[in-house]
Structure 1
Amino acid sequence: MWGLTPRDARYAARALMVMALIAGVAALKLAATLAAPVLLGLVVGVVLAPVVNRLRRIGVPRALSASLALILAIVVLILLVSALGPVLSGLMEEIPKIQREIRSWLDDIVSLVRGAESLGREIEESIAQGSDEAVKAAVPTLMDALWMAPNFMAQSMIFLGTLFFFVLTGEEIYAHLPARETALKAADRAVSHYFITVTSINAGLGLAVFGVMTLLDLPNAMLWGGAAFILNFVLYLGPVVMMASLLVAGFVNFHGGMVLVPMAVYLGLNMIEAQFVTPSLVGQRLHLNPLLVFLSILFGLWLWGPVGGVVSLPAMVWLLVFSGHRTEADIGMEPSAQAEPFAESA
């Protein structure tokens, strides 16, 4: 830079990089409705790339493979939307139960404190009123539903379009980046291996939670199994939310020491998954700083909500492998044992 010493020029360049980073984060935040489904489509496309590659090797045209990936994504979206109705209905049914349980707790507390009858009644009335308002706020109005439907459909179309065209043209995109092609393919293989393995582990955890909650006769056992499957994608925060929810469910549906059993059982299953199953299947040498993982998930949730929380860790794995800070062997896979997602068929 003109008129600056080399040291001042370095400081100025670093300041410009910091400002560019802040501007980039602000742009991603403002463009959440566009950027979040695009990144989700790219992540899903990378995950499905090995399957598409295998289909192409047995003679299936790439356009047909991309269409099959698109159909699969549409089916998953339909199943997800179909499952949300019963889940939300179940949650709405639980709110009055929690409200009654809070009133019962307040009655017990008030009975132990002399001279607090009027205060207890005021607290009960305020909580009851607040609970009613919370229920009204939680149930979307017709206008809210009409407003949210086009927004959801638009983001779904962005996600599906990104997925389809990435699977269809990924090979050509990588061919135009010969200097980075090897690193891009290695990063794609790492994310695909990671995401498929973690999805299988989370599905097993969800089935285990469903089975145990059924044995404990906890209402909505399927809801708890599905919640365990989804929330386990968000490391640290997801299990904490699950434990808190099961604690409330235990207080609502059981008495005595049984109120802690659902939470304790889930904690045991989660510890088995986190300490034994995931390290053995994903790889014990993926040394990611827990603080870095925690902050990246928080950043993803703040940036793009639930979608950001899900894609933040796969995106981190992709960046680490692409930049050379981690290798494919670091996540428990051998490079030679995996087919390159966009490699030329023999």
Structure 2
Amino acid sequence: MIDLLLSQRAARVMLALLAAIALVAALHLAQHILAPTVFALVLGIVISPVADRLYGLGVPRLAVAVLLLVATLALIGLALLLVEPLFSLLIDELPRIKVAVAGWIETASGLLRGIETISAEIENSVGAQAAQPQTAVPSVRDALWLAPGFAAQVFIFVGVLFFFVLTRSELYAGTGPMEQRFRRADRAVARYFAAVTLVNIGLGVVTAMVLTAAGVNYAVLWGLAAALLNFILYLGPMMIIAGLTIAGLVQFSGAQAFLPPFLFLLLNLTEANFVTPLVVGKRLAMNPLLIFTAIVFGLWLWGPVGAIVALPVLLWAGVVMRPSLAMRGPGAAPYVHVG
């Protein structure tokens, strides 16, 4: 009897594992459809309080959906236009960065004994790549090949966002007793990201000012990148620190080369441990390991879009499953505790 129960339990565990593997595989294979769909749903949830306020003022639903769609697309376009100089700068600086990397490898190879051959091979490889003119911009043929798929994803994103904003009330009303939980989750996520947006804007401005005072080139662009990437917890600041480390090594020499990443690290620690808890509050506490794992999983599953939507989906699901996590009062907001 005991052996039968153990075998049944083992069978259930194996079926659960197989189902999880199949689900992950399906999510990965369907990323070109699911990634823009989930991204649109997340943005629809974030702007849901604005939609509810406009509905309360008597604005027709169709007008609200069109207005918020145009406003959202305009903000996304503005963000891309602001970030584009940073990518152009990175492309222009690639040869210089490669030469600097070759120099670091040469310096390191002189300090490490017994691996001269490996170091020489790496150095020659990097030096050859630096000497050859390369471009990180796709060719016209590559762009034409990727254009239909990208256009399809944009079409999915626009359609899902428009119809979600237009019919969100009807969708939630059809869920019966779960309607209030969904609405609480929407408000929690929206208020959280409204507060975090303000914090990130402040972080970007202060980062630009501090890096300007330190003499770092393109400090305004670094501040903009810090504000945008800080929406991706852990990974975003790590990317900025890595980028500033390279920028410092390229621009400065000696210990001063590590000043830019050190300054940003101080700013980020201050923001994460003092400013964000003060502005956002501590109503919603989540395990840092869970947050980091979710972001890494989203990045692996759907790329940058997955990393962006991982935290909102985690917040929304957490409030739906535990309504007590939702904030109390009109001015409260949830907080993801990362300390």
TM exceeding 0.5: yes
For residues 45 and 228 of structure 1, the distance between their equivalents in structure 2, rounded to whole angstroms, comes to: 24
Contact 1:227 1:242 (8 Å CA) reproduced: yes
1:53 aligns with 2:52: yes
**Corresponding residue of 1:175:** 173
How many residue pairs get aligned? The number is 329
For residues 167 and 255 of structure 1, the distance between their equivalents in structure 2, rounded to whole angstroms, comes to: 53
Cα offset, 1:204, TM superposition: 1.6
Residue 298 of structure 1, aligned match among 286, 296, 299: 296
**Corresponding residue of 2:98:** 99
Cα offset, 1:294, TM superposition: 1.1
Cα offset, 1:247, TM superposition: 1.0
Contact 2:283 2:326 (8 Å CA) reproduced: no
Cα offset, 1:90, TM superposition: 0.3
Name stretches of at least 5 consecutive residues in structure 2 with no aligned partner: 333-339
Contact 2:241 2:261 (8 Å CA) reproduced: yes
Q: Alignment identity in percent?
A: 43
**Corresponding residue of 1:209:** 207
Contact 2:39 2:309 (8 Å CA) reproduced: yes
Cα offset, 1:318, TM superposition: 0.8
For residues 103 and 27 of structure 1, the distance between their equivalents in structure 2, rounded to whole angstroms, comes to: 42
When residues 261 and 10 of structure 1 are mapped into structure 2, their CA distance, relative to the original with a 3 A threshold, is: same
**Corresponding residue of 2:337:** none
When residues 163 and 252 of structure 1 are mapped into structure 2, their CA distance, relative to the original with a 3 A threshold, is: same
For residues 105 and 76 of structure 2, the distance between their equivalents in structure 1, rounded to whole angstroms, comes to: 43
When residues 177 and 130 of structure 1 are mapped into structure 2, their CA distance, relative to the original with a 3 A threshold, is: same
Partner SS for 1:179: helix
For residues 106 and 38 of structure 2, the distance between their equivalents in structure 1, rounded to whole angstroms, comes to: 50
When residues 59 and 119 of structure 1 are mapped into structure 2, their CA distance, relative to the original with a 3 A threshold, is: closer
1:91-140 deviation digits (Å, cap 9, x = unpaired): 012212222323444665688899x999988765432113356x736332
Cα offset, 1:286, TM superposition: 2.6
**Corresponding residue of 2:148:** 150
Mapping of residues 77-92 of structure 1, within 5 Å: 77-92=76-91
Contact 2:91 2:135 (8 Å CA) reproduced: no
1:66 aligns with 2:65: yes
Contact 1:328 1:335 (8 Å CA) reproduced: no
For residues 202 and 295 of structure 2, the distance between their equivalents in structure 1, rounded to whole angstroms, comes to: 22
**Corresponding residue of 1:275:** 273
Partner SS for 2:176: coil
When residues 181 and 316 of structure 1 are mapped into structure 2, their CA distance, relative to the original with a 3 A threshold, is: same
Name stretches of at least 5 consecutive residues in structure 1 with no aligned partner: 339-346
For residues 176 and 31 of structure 1, the distance between their equivalents in structure 2, rounded to whole angstroms, comes to: 27
Structure 1 stretch displaced more, 180-189 or 136-145: 136-145
Cα offset, 1:227, TM superposition: 1.7
Bigger relative contact order, structure 1 or 2, given CA contacts below 8 A and separation 6+?
A: 1
Cα offset, 1:84, TM superposition: 4.6
What residue identity is the alignment partner of 2:311? L
**Corresponding residue of 1:342:** none
**Corresponding residue of 1:29:** 28
For residues 124 and 284 of structure 1, the distance between their equivalents in structure 2, rounded to whole angstroms, comes to: 50
Partner SS for 1:93: helix
For residues 175 and 99 of structure 1, the distance between their equivalents in structure 2, rounded to whole angstroms, comes to: 57
What residue identity is the alignment partner of 2:45? V
Mapping of residues 1-346 of structure 1, within 5 Å: 12-105=11-104, 124-131=123-130, 136=134, 138-324=136-322, 326-329=324-327, 334-335=328-329
What residue identity is the alignment partner of 2:32? T
Contact 1:250 1:260 (8 Å CA) reproduced: yes
